[in-house]
Amino acid sequence: MLSDRVSTVIVERFSQLSNRLNFLLNPPIQNLAMSTLRPLRFPRRRTSPTVESLAEQLGVLTRERQDLRTNDAGAVALEQNRVAIARAQWDLSYALIERYLPKPAAAQSAA
């Protein structure tokens, strides 16, 4: 009985040591570095496209990304597409805000 307890402790310690050593032997996961979107905000465009045209543009960019992935496109092309999608999403969100945000009371009375 006492020997069972000792052997369990030894096995547990060996297991912990083994996990630590395996961690050192496993190579890290390789991933592609994404560029940061600097500046964090995209500059506003002078002309405001409609929500519908922006949604259409976002759909086109998304389909393009699916095609790029299907055809095993390079990292540069995927990154350029990712940034274009982020820009389109940013533009769409601000267009939706401009469309649906209630106007301030002073602006409504002046109009």
Q: Where are the domains of the chain?
A: 36-102
Strand, helix or coil for residue 9: helix
C-alpha 15/C-alpha 2 separation (Å) is 20
Provide the CB-side half-sphere exposure for 106 (13 A, CA): 0
What is residue 97's predicted lDDT score, i.e. its pLDDT? 92
d(Cα 9, Cα 14) in Å, to the nearest integer? 9
8-45 pLDDT, tens digit each: 767 777 677 666 666 666 666 566 666 665 555 566 66
- Provide CB contacts within 8 A for 4, sequence distance 6+: none
Could you read off the pLDDT of 51-61 as tens digits, one per residue?
Answer: 999 999 999 99
pLDDT of residue 51: 95
Query: How far apart are the C-alpha atoms of 100 and 1, rounded to whole Å?
Result: 74
Whole-number pLDDT of residue 105: 74
pLDDT greater than 90 at residue 106: no
